[in-house]
A and B are shown apart, each in its own frame.
Chain A
């Protein structure tokens, strides 16, 4: 707890006091106990299978939805009391976080509920005759709830992490807005089923089970996606052990390609497929004899021909991975040059697929800043100079500019000299032990 800034503690304490005031107000005018009990049961049930999605710190439970449905079903006071359940979160151990979450939700619910009742929203009935009149108060309530949530969250993140309000607004808004729209619609639906259709508490399981399963499956999807990524990275590292000069190379090319793609504001799914294309772009090197890859002198024309085969072999391996889509062309052509002097096909300019032009720049940059068997590593400044020199002849100027822009802002993690560790603390595959046990011919290289 000692690492929580004082300002955050003070802020959370203040919020808790406000929330306690709201709870006191709600208790002074208590709602129907059986209704509250059923809704509470649903809140607790959704808390039990709470899943962090994609490691996001701001997690939504279905209880926000139930709180919104409670505005018409049981009134603002009941909604406020229901929000208390957010403090009961089995996934969070930190008392400061727990108090913050609970207090935030209580305040959001109380303000949302007050807005609903101030606008004259019906409580205890929601029939066909109440529409469309009930829509305005309900939407306002959702809006107030959402706005309170976003503002409170922005302040705490600003205090805790010192992020700028603008970037906070963007990231919080992007992930809360769709969720709120969904919860608002389903919340209203739940209230209509409960009151208008007259299903009462039965509407809770019937409506929430599909949603619950949707979330559960989505959490599984997120976990599977992480697992997938970890697996691909590890297998790529295993492949890279064959030539230890390239260790971490795929990882860095992937990063560099993503930097360019983001700078060019590519759509998310394209960025994602580029990320994997970067990881997979040199797989074909496995087909090139280690002797040639690690040769110190000039390559003979036969040896060079063998090296030139690698994009084709690489794309051959990944051809069945459907989601890579245009990234496959990126892998095939990442050694083409704008002036047509590259390989494997000698394509020129715009003929070269966009992804290939992206990967080409990231690949060349990492190759230059890494030690190779035939030369030492160059500094980032030298490599930038090389990129500038090749701008328009070897590299697409757009990609070079985007890369340099991103580089100036985010910096670059070069490979450690001697490549003893993989970049960015990724688990390095321990080659030494392998070489010793196999007694392979290149074990001696570890000593450098």
Chain B
């Protein structure tokens, strides 16, 4: 994965995160300049929300799929964007002030992360600022008309508008997230968007409803709504943290245990790890979903586990060098082991099929061989041929051999994707 994220990758494409950061940067400069020139409207409220957003940014959470989010900070920003009233007094701040306060809070909250040596993740902060800015501009633009209406009808439509803006902001968050990840991968935008939206479904709903709730409760409870009503969102965040940590442990463990075949002398050192990195890069390039990528990664890491059942290791562990029947048996043995877990059936199917050709003489395309299995077959063969070497000559030779084998063995789509991924990582 790290090998695919070289800085040169965006040469030919437009940099998604560049756009997001530039837009947010311009907005922030304009809004802060305006705030400095005119002073803040209702500075007490602004300060309270700024501090809240800053704290929210401090306690970030990593969602599965290595997405770093700051749910509480975003909720605070959204709440400030749709805030109309504090303890009976109208909140008259403008949309640009919302941007200024949110950006300041988020940047201050990011400082300790930077100091602790964590990545600044400036694109993630920029994304959150843009989402809040969107909510502030649309809501505060439309609300004044509804506010003038007054009465029960006016209030109901205002609340409906808040909810609508929160939903739109959630969608925008997904779009921006997908835009940013075009930096890392060349997967089709549609696939990236789908991944972002499904990853954000839960936390986004929690953030949106908390933002609206805080804004509404401020009307009566005043600023005490901020700490009190963030409790449910903190619980959500806590659950996500636990979930992300078990997912990380799971992956670390599978990665570690994938090395036992090296230790037993069954495979070349680091083979499983390299195959999985290549496989995931190819899978991402082909637009696989997050969940599919995860199964692909597990299957790639464990694709040689069947060799543990062999009494004599294959020389060098290269399954490429043994007969097809032998390869199939190793695959079947591995699938048996994985199936014993009772929980990784999808992974077992992939491992089982990794030795199959993608088509047969009478069959243009064998639909029974899943894409993940085809990817592992190609990545495995490539690593057996190259063995972690970065020499250009060996890479090209190996690719040539895979292309020659693409009549039956290797799916040409996967081979071409591998070629793309490799060119990118060599830069």
- List A residues at the B interface (Cβ < 8 Å): 128, 185-186, 189, 192-193, 196-199, 202-203, 205-207, 209-211, 213-218, 220-221, 224-228, 230-235, 237-239, 241-242, 283-284, 286-287, 290, 313, 317-323, 427, 429, 434-435, 437-438, 440-442
- CB pair A322–B249 under 8 Å, yes or no, is yes
Task: Out of A207, A228, A321, A323, name the residue touching B213 (CB < 8 Å).
Answer: A207
Say whether A322 contacts B252, CB under 8 Å. yes
Q: Decide if A217 touches B240 in the complex (CB within 8 Å).
A: yes
Contacts of A434 in B (CB 8 A): 309, 333
Which listed residue (B159, B243, B343) contacts A227, Cβ 8 A? B343
Q: How many Å from the CB of A212 to the closest CB on chain B?
A: 8
Q: Which of B213, B229, B256, B310 contacts A320, CB < 8 Å?
A: B256
B329 within 8 A of A: yes
Q: Is B220 within 8 A of A197, CB to CB?
A: yes
A317 touches which of B217, B243, B259 (Cβ 8 Å): B259
Which bracket fits the contact residues of B?
Answer: 35 or more
- Fill in one digit per residue for B212-254: 1 if any A CB lies within 8 Å of its CB, else 0: 1100110111000000110111011011101101111110111
Which of A239, A317, A429 contacts B340 (CB under 8 A)?
A: A429
Q: What is the CB-to-nearest-CB distance from B144 to chain A, in angstroms, rounded to a whole number? A: 22
**Also in contact, A235 and B337, with CB within 8 A (given A210-B210, A221-B239):** yes
Contacting residues, chain A, for B203 (C-beta < 8 A): 213
A206 partner, pick from B212, B240, B259, beta carbons under 8 A: B212
Contact B257 A235, beta carbon cutoff 8 Å: yes
**A438 to B23 Cα, complex, angstroms:** 63
Contact partner of B216 (CB less than 8 A), chosen from A206, A214, A438, is A206
Check A317 against B263 for contact (C-beta < 8 Å): yes
**Complex contact A321–B311 (CB within 8 A):** no
Given contacts A197-B220, A284-B263, contact A320 B255 (CB under 8 A): yes
CA A227 to CA B265, docked complex, whole Å: 28
Q: How far is the CA of A202 from the CA of B166 in the complex (A)?
A: 15
Q: In this complex, what residue of A is CB-closest to B265?
A: A287
A224 touches B246 (CB 8 A): yes
Minimum distance in angstroms from A106 CB to a CB of chain B? 27
| B249 and A211 within 8 A (CB) | no
Query: Is residue B404 contacting chain A, with contact meaning CB distance below 8 A?
Result: no
State whether the Cβ of B46 lies closer than 8 Å to any Cβ in chain A: no
Report the bound CA distance from A237 to B240 in whole Å.
31
B250 near A221: Cβ-Cβ < 8 Å = no
6 CB < 8 A contacts A-B? A211-B235, A231-B343, A231-B344, A232-B257, A320-B255, A323-B249
Bound form: Cα–Cα A284–B256 in Å: 12
Which residues 251-280 of B sit at the A interface, judged by CB distance below 8 A? 252-257, 259-260, 263-265
Question: Does B341 lie within 8 Å of A230, measured CB to CB?
Answer: yes
Q: Known contacts A207-B232, A217-B202; is A228 also within 8 Å of B209 by CB?
A: no
Contact residues of B: prevailing secondary structure: helix
Q: Does the CB pair B228–A242 fall under 8 Å?
A: no
Q: Which of A238, A241, A319 has the most CB of B within 10 A?
A: A238
B259 contacts which chain A residues (CB < 8 A)? 317
Note all chain A residues with C-beta closer than 8 A to B257: 232, 235, 283, 317
Name the residue among A197, A206, A435 with the largest chain B CB count within 10 angstroms: A206
Q: How far is the CA of A440 from the CA of B333 in the complex (A)?
A: 14
Q: Does B216 lie within 8 Å of A221, measured CB to CB? A: no
Residue of B nearest to A323 (CB): B249
Question: CB-nearest residue of chain B relative to A238?
Answer: B337
Q: For residue B329, which residues in chain A have a CB less than 8 angstroms away from its CB? A: 437
CB neighbours (8 Å) of A224 from chain B are 243, 246-247, 250
Q: In the complex, which residue of chain A has the Cβ closest to the Cβ of B222?
A: A128
Could you say which of A197, A221, A283 contacts B246, with CB atoms under 8 Å apart?
Answer: A221
Given contacts A202-B159, A231-B343, contact A214 B311 (CB under 8 A): no
A235 contacts B305, CB within 8 Å?
yes
A193 contacts B213, C-beta separation under 8 Å: yes
Closest to A216 in B: B202
Chain B nearest Cβ from A270, distance in angstroms: 16
Q: Are B236 and A197 in contact (CB under 8 A)?
A: no
Instruction: Let me know if A214 and B239 touch, CB within 8 A.
Output: yes
Contact of A232 among B233, B248, B253, B260 (CB under 8 A): B253
Given contacts A221-B246, A320-B255, A321-B252, contact A209 B209 (CB under 8 A): yes
Q: In the A-B complex, list the 7 residue pairs whose CB atoms are closest, starting with the nearest.
A: A440-B311, A210-B232, A210-B206, A217-B239, A227-B343, A206-B213, A214-B236
- Which residues of chain B have C-beta atoms less than 8 A from A317's C-beta? 256-257, 259-260, 263
Contacts of B216 in A (CB 8 A): 197, 199, 202, 206
Judge whether B217 and A210 touch: CB under 8 Å.
no
Q: A211-B235, A317-B259 are in contact. Are A205 and B250 (CB under 8 A)?
A: no
Interface contact A206-B235, CB-CB below 8 Å:
no
A207: chain B residues within 8 A (beta carbon): 209, 213, 229, 232
B340 cross-chain contacts in A, Cβ below 8 A: 234, 237-238, 427, 429
Please state if A215 and B239 are interface contacts (CB–CB under 8 Å): yes
- Contact A321–B247 (Cβ < 8 Å): no
Distance between Cα atoms of A367 and B288 in the complex (Å): 47
- Closest B residue to A240 by beta carbon equals B308
Residues of chain B within 8 A of A232, CB atoms compared:
253, 257
* Pairwise interchain contact A197-B235, C-beta atoms closer than 8 A: no
> Chain B 299-325 against A: per-residue CB contact (8 Å), 1 yes, 0 no?
000000100111110000000000000
Q: A214-B232, A438-B310 are in contact. List 19 more A-B contacts (CB 8 A).
A: A199-B216, A206-B212, A207-B209, A209-B209, A211-B235, A213-B203, A217-B236, A218-B239, A221-B239, A221-B242, A227-B343, A231-B343, A235-B337, A238-B337, A283-B257, A317-B260, A321-B249, A427-B342, A434-B333
B159 / chain A contacts, CB cutoff of 8 Å: 202
Q: How far is the CB of B258 from chain A (nearest CB, A)?
A: 9
Bound Cα distance A288, B48 (Å): 63
Q: Are B217 and A197 within 8 A (Cβ)?
A: yes
Is B250 within 8 A of A186, CB to CB? no
**With contact pairs A189-B228, A228-B249, A440-B311 given, residues A321 and B239 touching in the complex (Cβ less than 8 Å):** no
Chain B contacts for A441, CB-based, 8 A: 311-312
Q: In the assembled complex, which residues on chain B have CB atoms less than 8 Å from the CB atom of A226?
A: 343
Query: Within 8 Å CB of B229, what residues of A?
Result: 189, 207
A230 and B341 alpha carbons, distance in the complex (Å): 5
